[in-house]
């Protein structure tokens, strides 16, 4: 009985990676919106500044890692656009729910006042880009049946060439186009977005994730060399960032070549981390909810400016225990938002059950 039940539990290495990546997302938001990165760059020095850059630049790849995972697990799917309608709806409904419930519930509770624009945007989360990641994720999901058919028809040689071309276009080109020394002769104007936060960047990662699944063989156990390479890439990125003002502006971009390679290393390590945990798999299912809740623009302003406003105070980072406090804040945001997401899931299940009962009563013969 115990063996049979355990066999139904999927591998948890990638699920653990999803959780770690969401914690990194929260940490990045502390750096960006909480003011940590600005204070670190302007007020920290010596070892403290070096450590910050190492931690910060080791946390730059979660967005692309999620799409790498998406491509990795979806590439072998032979589903059509018709057959993924349910998955599209399953992704969009929580998005629509939070887009409506968060602003209007917050106004009822007196947390904020909504403008006419805020109210209008709440009804159109997909097109109003309340969450850029969710909009792009849905677009890639819609395109995935067509991408899968195309990519799986390629030979390994053709697929490898495609990946190399995309890497040169979207990672290498974008770096040189932003360096002061080369930006006059290598330009991005009307060609690419520099940060990788666009549809082409997400398709690029989906293609790369599919390549890892199809053409990079798994190992019987996780190889630590991938973590060593990850650390080495972080170190190179940090050194370039500290000693080159021109490069520092692009060291944190999603499509930076070091960041892309870091994401690949994490996928290759965690996919071979063979263990099964129902708890980790359960927690990982709340990730998108955690993201949508804490990154909704009204919650984001309240979270980092009011509830954790001390993060923007320079004196906070003079405390010897501040790294532990930052970690505690990350965990607190993750846990609270995760609990809210579980409540949302239960609410959806209860609503679905109620609707089924009503349908049976109204249409008993169907």
pTM of structure = 0.92
What does the pLDDT profile of the chain (366 residues) look like in tens digits?
333 334 466 789 999 999 999 999 999 999 999 999 888 888 877 788 888 889 999 999 999 999 999 999 999 998 899 999 999 999 999 999 999 999 999 999 999 999 999 999 999 999 999 999 999 999 999 999 999 999 999 999 999 999 999 999 999 998 898 898 898 898 887 787 777 888 999 999 999 999 999 999 999 899 999 999 999 999 999 999 888 888 988 888 999 999 999 999 999 999 999 999 999 999 999 999 999 999 999 999 999 999 999 898 888 888 888 899 999 999 999 999 999 999 999 999 999 888 888 877 777 765
Give the model's pLDDT for residue 152: 96
Give the model's pLDDT for residue 8: 60
The helix-helix angle for 225-243 and 257-270 (nearest 10°) equals 160
Dihedral sign computed on CA atoms, order 316, 238, 264, 33: positive
Spatial separation of the C-alpha atoms in residues 232 and 230, rounded to whole Å: 5
Residue pair 267/76 in contact by the 8 Å Cβ criterion? no
The most distant pair of C-alpha atoms in the chain lies apart, rounded to whole Å, by 75
Residue pair 266/24 in contact by the 8 Å Cβ criterion? no
Tokens of 334: 């993750």
Residue pair 52/28 in contact by the 8 Å Cβ criterion? no
Spatial separation of the C-alpha atoms in residues 179 and 226, rounded to whole Å: 29
User: How many CA atoms within 13 Å lie on the side-chain side of 191?
Assistant: 10
Rg (CA), the chain: 22
Give the model's pLDDT for residue 319: 83
Sequence-ordered list of residues with C-beta below 8 angstroms from that of 302, at least 6 positions apart, any chain: 106, 111, 112
Instruction: Give how far Cα 11 sits from Cα of 15, 16, 44, 56, 222, Å.
Output: 8, 10, 41, 29, 13
Spatial separation of the C-alpha atoms in residues 234 and 257, rounded to whole Å: 11
Residue pair 35/312 in contact by the 8 Å Cβ criterion? yes
Spatial separation of the C-alpha atoms in residues 358 and 239, rounded to whole Å: 63
Q: Where are the domains of the chain?
A: 2-362
Give the model's pLDDT for residue 230: 97
Phi-psi region of 242 (alpha: psi -120 to 50; beta: other; left: phi over 0): alpha
Spatial separation of the C-alpha atoms in residues 131 and 119, rounded to whole Å: 16
Q: For residue 338, which of 290, 285, 282, 281 has the smallest C-alpha distance?
A: 290
Spatial separation of the C-alpha atoms in residues 334 and 148, rounded to whole Å: 33
């Amino acid at each position: 009985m115990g063996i049979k039940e355990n066999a139904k539990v999927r591998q948890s290495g990638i699920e653990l990676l999803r959780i770690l990546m969401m914690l990194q997302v929260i940490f990045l938001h502390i750096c960006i919106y909480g003011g940590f990165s600005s204070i670190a760059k302007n007020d920290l020095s010596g070892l403290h500044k070096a450590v910050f850059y190492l931690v910060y630049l080791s946390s730059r790849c979660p967005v692309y890692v999620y799409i790498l995972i998406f491509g990795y697990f979806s590439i072998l799917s032979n589903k059509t656009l018709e057959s993924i309608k349910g998955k599209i709806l399953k992704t969009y409904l929580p998005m629509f729910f939070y887009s409506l419930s968060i602003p209007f519930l917050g106004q009822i509770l007196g947390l904020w006042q909504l403008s006419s624009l805020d109210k209008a945007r709440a009804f159109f989360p997909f097109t109003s880009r309340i969450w850029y990641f969710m909009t792009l994720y849905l677009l890639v999901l819609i395109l995935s049946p067509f991408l899968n058919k195309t990519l799986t028809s390629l030979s390994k040689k053709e697929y490898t060439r495609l990946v190399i071309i995309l890497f040169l276009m979207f990672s290498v080109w974008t770096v040189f186009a932003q360096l002061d020394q080369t930006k006059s002769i290598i330009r991005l104007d009307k060609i690419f977005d520099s940060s990788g936060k666009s549809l082409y960047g997400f398709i690029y990662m989906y293609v790369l994730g599919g390549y890892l699944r199809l053409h990079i063989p798994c190992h019987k156990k996780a190889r630590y060399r991938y973590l060593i390479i990850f650390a080495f890439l972080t170190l190179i990125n940090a050194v370039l960032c500290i000693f080159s003002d021109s490069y520092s502006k692009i060291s944190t971009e999603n499509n930076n070549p070091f960041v892309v390679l870091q994401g690949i290393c994490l996928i290759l390590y965690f996919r071979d981390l063979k263990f099964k945990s129902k708890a980790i798999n359960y927690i990982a299912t709340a990730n998108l909810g955690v993201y949508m809740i804490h990154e909704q623009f009204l919650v984001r302003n309240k979270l980092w400016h009011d509830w954790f406003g001390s993060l923007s105070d320079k004196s906070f980072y003079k405390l010897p225990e501040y790294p532990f406090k930052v970690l505690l804040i990350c965990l607190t945001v993750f846990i609270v938002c995760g609990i809210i997401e579980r409540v949302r899931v239960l609410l959806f299940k209860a609503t679905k059950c109620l609707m089924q009962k009503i349908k049976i009563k109204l249409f008993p013969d169907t």
